[in-house]
Amino acid sequence: MYDSFKSLKLDKRGKILTITLDNPPLNANEPGMHGELARIFHVINHDPDTAVVIITGAGEKAFSAGGDIKNMAARIERGEHEDWIRGNREAKEIIYSMLRLEKPLIARVNGHAMGLGASLAVMADFSYMVEHAQIADTHVKVGLAAGDGGAFMWPMLIGFTNARRYLLTGDAMTGAEAAQIGLITQAVADIPNLDRAVNEMADRLANGATLAINTTKAAINLLLRRMLDGVMEAHLGAETYTYLSKDHYEAVTAFRDKRVPIFTGR
């Protein structure tokens, strides 16, 4: 069932399946991993032997640092917009399929979570994070609208005032701060405590009333899914609009050249 997945590392412990974003040290979402994330949750729905899913990153430095910014600059310079279109379709499938996943999903945020990495963390049903790690939706810092889940889920979790504070600046917060305002479930001191919290919840859910747990999750997500239907296309359209801007190109080339970007609003 999972033989076709090469960029994601998959491990099974009883009824618990762990998905590892396996591109250390930053676990950036290269094209292969992005494509597999768009498929994996659909496949898990057809796996009767899995009751709980954990998603995490390889190593201890990052859960996922989001997209590869150097590749963004190269893609624009090559004029390969087909990659962007494919990535947009995949981003839509990632967010939709996370909400359609029938089994509980736990994010084990073992390090920094940026961009799409932050979206993966906050879209999970439970998110446990090392308290000193940072989380941020950094789209605006690279001249993009926060289209792949951030502008949708952050206001749902932390309210519009806090969401504006972080999404319009791209500023980061620590895991401890994220837990305090309700962006994640819980922050813990270190990796051993992270593993303890994640495994305790995973085991509890795996040994619980599976049908009741899954249908309750579906009931909770039903409202989110209906709301997402009304905004997802517009959010991805906004991201594409900004992808074509001079500010986006300036941001990614400045990052590549290790200089401060000069934005012009174009």
What would the pLDDT profile of 79-95 be if each residue is shown by its tens digit? Answer: 778 888 898 899 999 99
204-231 pLDDT, tens per residue?
A: 999 999 999 999 999 999 999 999 998 9
Alpha helices in the chain (DSSP H): 31-44, 69-78, 81-100, 116-123, 150-167, 175-181, 191-206, 210-243, 246-257
Q: Cα–Cα distance between 24 and 3 in angstroms, integer?
A: 21
Residue range 164-193: mean pLDDT, rounded? 98
Q: Cα–Cα distance between 131 and 235 in angstroms, integer?
A: 30
47-58 pLDDT, tens per residue?
A: 999 999 999 999
Domains of the chain: 8-210 (3.90.226.10)
Q: What is the pTM of this model?
A: 0.94
Sign of CA dihedral 143, 145, 148, 149: positive
Q: Cα–Cα distance between 152 and 144 in angstroms, integer?
A: 15
Q: Cα–Cα distance between 200 and 100 in angstroms, integer?
A: 24
Q: Which pairing describes strands 112-114 and 134-136: parallel, antiparallel, or unpaired?
A: parallel
